[in-house]
Amino acid sequence: MTRAESILIVGSMAFDDLELPSINARDVIGGSATYSAFAASTFAEIRVVAVVGTDFPDGTLTALRARGIDTAGIERAEGRTFRWAGRYDADLVHRTTLDTQLNVFASFAPKIPAAYRDTPIVLLGNIHPALQLEVLEQVTRPRLVIADTMNFWIEGEPALVDKMLKRIDTLVINDEEARQLSGHHNIRRAAREILTRGPRRLIIKRGEHGALLFDDHGVFAAPGFPLEDVVDPTGAGDSFAGGFVGYLAGQADLSPMALRRAMLYATATASFCVEAVGTARVATLTPKDVADRVTSIRSLYEFGAATM
Ligand code: AMP
């Protein structure tokens, strides 16, 4: 493995109120940037650009720094931190957003510090697509730009989402979002349509069923790891994206096979996130934890193919 490159992560930092089948948890530290940064820091040096309010605990910033994450790009603004509330169905797959309060995000303009501008890998976490575009205006020729988005923006800001799609090379969304974005129910048709709109690669996450990668090499399926105890799926998608870019940061190229291996690292990383409430598990992940789970995932489809 070559020395891992740095990754710039821009996204939300949040307080989440979670209604889970097993427990209700309030004021849980979350946000797309928080989950992705903890996850990706398992593999590479991370720089975060985000905004928090005066109510955000210093302890979380200290915990990020303890993982080697550069927090100099996290702005502390006057006001309250972004808040999100969601309720999960008993199947822990479907969730309803109960509340979204932008708070300090409403007036946030991401400022990429000079020292971060040439970061080779950029992960645009799920935030307003106008902010994702503002970030891209400030960075110089990253070799990989990957973005996430969600129904809230696909519905609310379709023109800006479209503009963002033209500026990125990889989009990561879940199956419902892919259907909504494309207008096709069939996932393969949805993927084909989305790939005509800008990105050269598309990853569609399918919760516990794993994820699909669509690129000019075809389609690749990474299985989800079947867990006995799923506690809190919040942040699984962000942890997936963090594991994906984290793995690629240590690879010499973005070959189709490197991307496929990254898909396994991504599902492995996401599988840890859901084992605990909030960022508790993803904040303590080690490279060995993830490598061992990748081995377990590989064993899911060892079936003596050579003897067929
Ligand atoms: P995931 O479960 O991977 O989709 O990510 C959930 C995280 O995204 C939560 O911690 C929320 O705080 C954050 N989130 C939810 N809605 C939004 C939004 N509209 N903009 C930015 N972040 C959000």
Task: Give the residue, out of 126, 131, 164, 244, with the most ligand 1 atoms within 8 A of its beta carbon, to mutate for a pocket test.
Answer: 126
pLDDT of residue 93: 86
The span from the CA of 207 to the CA of 224, in Å, is: 7
Which helix (H) or strand (E) covers residue 213, if one does?
strand 211-215
CATH number of 7-150+214-307: 3.40.1190.20
β-pairing verdict for 7-10 and 14-19: unpaired
What would the mean pLDDT of 300-308 be, rounded to a whole number?
90
Calpha distance 62→18 (Å, rounded): 24
DSSP-derived letter for residue 255 is: -
* Close Cβ partners of 35 (under 8 Å, ≥ 6 residues apart): 235, 238, 239, 242, 273, 279, 282
C-alpha 18 to ligand 1 mean position (Å)? 12
Q: Is the pLDDT of residue 18 over 70?
A: yes
Domain ranges of the chain: 7-150+214-307
- Return the number of other C-beta atoms located less than 10 Å from residue 251's C-beta: 17
Whole-angstrom distance, CA of residue 32 vs CA of residue 266? 15
pLDDT surpasses 80 at 156: yes
Q: Which atom of ligand 1 is nearest to the CA of 152?
A: 19
Q: Percentage of the chain surpassing pLDDT 90? A: 94
Report the alpha-carbon distance of residue 242 to residue 67 in Å, rounded. Answer: 14
Atom of ligand 1 nearest to the CA of 174: 4
Neighbours of 28 (CB within 10 A): 18
pLDDT of residue 36: 98
Q: Distance of CA 49 to CAs 74, 161, 171, 202, 232, Å?
A: 5, 20, 19, 24, 25
Q: Is the pLDDT of residue 174 over 60?
A: yes
Ligand 1 closest atom vs CA 238 = 3
| Residue range 119-131, pLDDT digits in tens | 999 999 999 999 9
In this predicted model, which residue has the larger pLDDT, 302 or 172?
Answer: 172
User: Which residues does a 6 A CB cutoff place in the pocket of ligand 1?
Assistant: 12, 14, 16, 30-32, 84, 100, 126-127, 152, 234-238
Q: Per-residue pLDDT averaged across 279-300, rounded?
A: 97
Determine the angle formed by the axes of helices 158-165 and 129-138, rounding to 10 degrees.
30
Q: What is the pLDDT of residue 40?
A: 98
Provide the b/e sequence for 66-84 (b: ≥16 CB within 10 Å): ebebbbebbeebeebbbbb
Q: What confidence category does residue 306 fall into, taking pLDDT thresholds of 50, 70 and 90?
A: confident
Say how many Å lie between the CA of residue 253 and the centre of ligand 1. 30
What is the distance in A from the centroid of ligand 1 to the CA of 126? Answer: 7
Site to substitute for ligand 1 among 150, 154, 282, most atoms within 8 A of C-beta:
150
pLDDT at 48: 98
- How far apart CA 110 and CA 105 sit, in angstroms, is 10
pLDDT for residue 3: 73
Distances (CA, A) of 110 to 49, 104, 264: 7, 12, 31
Query: What average pLDDT is seen over the chain?
Result: 96
Is the per-residue pLDDT at 104 higher than 90? Answer: yes
Query: What CA–CA distance (Å, rounded) separates 143 from 297?
Result: 28
Read off the pLDDT of residues 105-155 as tens digits, 9 standing for 90 and up: 999 999 999 999 999 999 999 999 999 999 999 999 899 999 999 999 999
Whether 35 and 235 have beta carbons less than 8 Å apart is answered as: yes
Distance of alpha carbon 301 from alpha carbon 217, whole angstroms: 21
Question: What are the residue ranges of helices labelled H in the chain?
Answer: 32-40, 58-66, 129-138, 151-156, 158-165, 175-182, 187-195, 236-249, 256-273, 287-299
Q: Once rounded to an integer, what is the mean pLDDT over residues 74-95?
A: 96
Q: What is the pLDDT of residues 234-288, one digit of tens each?
A: 999 999 999 999 999 999 999 999 999 999 999 999 999 999 999 999 999 999 9
pTM for this prediction: 0.96
Dist. CA 54 → ligand 1 center (Å): 20
Q: How many other CB atoms are there within 10 angstroms of residue 107's CB atom?
A: 11
Q: In the prediction, which pLDDT does 2 show?
A: 55
Which of 9, 12, 105, 269 best tests ligand 1's pocket when mutated (most atoms within 8 Å of CB)? Answer: 12
